[in-house]
C-alpha cells in the first residue's frame, strides 16, 4: 500500500473503481436493450488506472480522454446521471445529446472530453498546459491514451512540444495489450515508456492493476509538473475484460484466449485493493459491502434519472455549432 495515501482517500478509491465497474456493466446491459444508440467502449478491468491517476489531481487540473472514456470521466468526479443521460442522447446529458459515449466532457471538472480519434487528445492537453504555465497557475494537464495510440504521429509531436516547452503535462499510456484486435507485440518493438524517454522526459512503467502504485507514480509526476519540472510519461500495464466495444460480445473473436483473460482476472484491481484495505485495517469487509451498496444505488438512480429526462427537440438540432450564428449559418439541409 502507498505510503502517502490518506486512509479516507484509499477507501474512496475503492468506491470510485467500483462505480466505474458497475457503470460499464450497466452500459453493456443498456446497449443490449437498445437504450443506447451507437456503441460504447467499456473500461472494465482498467479501473485502477483512471482512479489512481485522477486521485492525484484537483478539479482545476484538466484531462483529455479517449474513446474508452467512461472511467476517466467518473474518476475525475463525473456525474453518473448526466453521463447516462448523455448515453441516452438526452438534453440533460453532459453534451445535450450531441456527443454520446465518445465525447462526454465536463468543463467544470476539467474534463476536456473523450475523443473518437485515437491519440487526438495529446496535443489538446499540451495547449491547456501552456495556458497554466503562461498564467503561472499550478495546474497540470493529463492526456490518457492507449497502447494503440503510441503509433500515432500526433502523440509523438505532442510529447516533443511538451518536452521542449517544459509543459506541465502527464502522458498516461494505458497498455491493455491490444488495439482492437491487434496485439501490441505485433506493432511495437520497444517498451512503450522507452519511447517517451527519447524526448527527454521522465518516463516509467507501473502496474496498472494496483491503484496505489498508479497513484504514487502519478503523484510524483504531478508534483514535478507543478514545480516547473515539465512533462512525464507513465505506462500503466492493464487489461480490458470485455471486447473492444459493446458490439464485440456478439461476435466470435479469437485474438485473445479465455485462459489469458482468466489469468488477468485473477489480478482484478478491485479485489486486489479490497484485500489491501482490509489487510491494512483501513476498512472492514462490511465497509466494502456498504460502499458497494451505495454505488449500486447511485447507478440505479442515475439510470432512472436519465430515462425520465426529456429528449432534445429535433427543431434544435443545429444548435451549439457556433457561439455566434449568422444569417443562413449553419445551413439547414432543406430549403429555408
Ligand X SMILES: Cc1ncc(C[n+]2csc(CCOP(=O)(O)OP(=O)(O)O)c2C)c(N)n1
In angstroms, what is the C-alpha Rg of the chain?
20
Residue from 132, 199, 219, 242 binding another protein (CB under 8 A)? 132
Binding status of residue 96 toward another protein by CB under 8 A: yes
Integer Cα distance of 53 and 127 in angstroms: 20
Min separation Cβ 68 and ligand X, Å: 4
Answer whether 248's CB lies under 8 Å from 68's CB.
Answer: no
DSSP secondary structure, 98-110, as one string:
SS-GGG--BGGGT
Binding status of residue 261 toward ligand X by CB under 6 A: no
Answer whether 234's CB lies under 8 Å from 172's CB.
Answer: yes
Binding status of residue 118 toward ligand X by CB under 6 A: yes
Residue from 4, 107, 117, 223 binding ligand X (CB under 6 A)? 117
Integer Cα distance of 16 and 277 in angstroms: 14
Binding status of residue 112 toward another protein by CB under 8 A: yes
Binding status of residue 146 toward ligand X by CB under 6 A: yes
φ, ψ at 207 (rounded to 5°): -75, 110
Please choose, out of 8-16, 33-41, 125-133, 175-183, the segment that lies near another protein by the rule CB under 8 A: 125-133
User: Nearest to ligand X by Cβ — which residue?
Assistant: 146
Q: What's the grid cell of residue 34?
A: 437498445
Min separation Cβ 315 and ligand X, Å: 31
Q: How many residues does the chain have?
A: 336
Contact pattern for ligand X over residues 155 through 184, marking x by CB under 6 A: ---------------------x-xxx----
Q: Say which entry of another protein, ligand X, none residue 146 contacts (CB below 5 to 8 A, set by partner kind).
A: ligand X
Residue from 41, 67, 68, 133 binding another protein (CB under 8 A)? 133
Q: Say which entry of ligand X, another protein, none residue 319 contacts (CB below 5 to 8 A, set by partner kind).
A: another protein
Question: CB atoms < 10 A from the CB of 80, how many?
Answer: 22
Residues whose CB falls within 8 Å of the CB of residue 142, separated by 6 or more in sequence, listed in order: 53, 54, 57, 61, 62, 63, 64, 125, 169, 170, 172
**Nearest residue to 64 via CA among 136, 146, 138:** 146
Binding status of residue 67 toward ligand X by CB under 6 A: yes
Please choose, out of 112-120, 194-202, 219-227, 263-271, the segment that lies near ligand X by the rule CB under 6 A: 112-120
149: DSSP letter: G
Answer whether 267's CB lies under 8 Å from 54's CB.
Answer: no
Please choose, out of 84-92, 115-123, 264-272, 321-329, the segment that lies near ligand X by the rule CB under 6 A: 115-123
Binding status of residue 330 toward another protein by CB under 8 A: yes
Chain residues that interact with another protein, rule: CB under 8 A: 62, 64, 93-99, 103, 105-107, 112-113, 115-117, 120, 122-134, 141, 153-154, 157-158, 160-161, 164-165, 319-324, 326-330, 335
Amino acid at each position: 500500500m502507498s505510503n502517502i495515501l490518506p486512509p479516507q482517500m484509499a477507501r474512496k478509491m475503492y468506491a470510485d473503481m467500483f462505480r466505474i465497474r458497475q457503470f460499464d456493466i450497466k452500459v453493456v446491459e443498456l446497449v443490449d436493450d437498445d437504450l443506447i444508440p451507437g456503441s460504447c467502449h467499456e473500461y472494465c478491468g482498467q479501473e485502477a488506472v483512471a482512479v489512481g491517476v485522477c486521485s492525484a489531481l484537483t478539479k482545476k487540473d484538466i484531462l483529455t480522454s479517449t474513446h474508452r472514456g467512461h472511467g476517466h470521466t467518473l474518476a475525475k468526479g463525473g456525474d453518473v446521471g448526466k453521463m447516462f443521460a448523455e448515453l441516452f442522447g438526452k438534453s440533460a446529458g453532459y453534451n445535450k445529446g450531441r456527443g454520446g459515449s465518445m465525447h462526454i466532457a465536463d468543463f467544470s471538472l476539467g474534463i476536456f472530453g473523450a475523443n473518437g480519434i485515437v491519440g487526438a487528445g495529446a496535443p489538446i492537453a499540451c495547449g491547456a498546459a501552456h495556458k497554466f504555465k503562461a498564467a503561472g497557475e499550478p495546474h497540470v494537464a493529463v492526456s490518457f491514451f492507449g497502447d494503440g495510440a503510441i503509433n500515432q504521429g500526433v502523440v509523438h509531436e505532442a510529447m516533443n512540444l511538451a518536452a521542449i516547452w517544459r509543459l506541465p503535462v502527464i502522458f498516461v499510456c494505458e497498455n491493455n495489450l491490444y488495439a482492437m484486435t491487434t496485439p501490441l507485440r505485433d506493432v511495437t518493438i520497444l517498451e512503450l515508456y522507452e519511447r517517451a524517454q527519447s524526448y527527454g522526459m521522465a518516463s516509467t512503467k507501473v502496474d496498472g492493476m494496483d491503484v496505489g502504485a498508479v497513484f504514487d507514480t502519478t503523484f510524483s509526476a504531478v508534483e514535478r509538473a507543478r514545480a516547473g519540472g515539465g512533462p512525464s510519461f507513465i505506462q500503466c500495464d492493464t487489461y480490458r475484460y470485455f471486447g473492444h466495444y459493446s458490439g464485440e460480445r456478439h461476435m466470435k473473436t479469437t485474438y485473445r484466449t479465455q485462459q489469458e483473460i482468466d489469468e488477468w482476472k485473477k489480478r482484478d484491481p478491485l479485489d486486489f485493493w479490497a484485500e489491501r484495505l482490509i489487510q491494512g485495517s483501513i476498512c472492514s469487509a462490511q465497509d466494502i459491502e456498504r460502499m458497494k451498496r451505495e454505488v449500486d444505488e447511485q447507478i440505479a438512480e442515475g439510470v432512472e434519472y436519465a430515462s425520465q429526462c426529456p429528449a432534445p427537440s429535433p427543431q434544435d438540432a443545429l444548435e451549439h455549432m457556433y457561439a455566434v450564428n449568422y444569417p443562413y449559418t449553419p445551413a439547414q439541409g432543406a430549403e429555408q
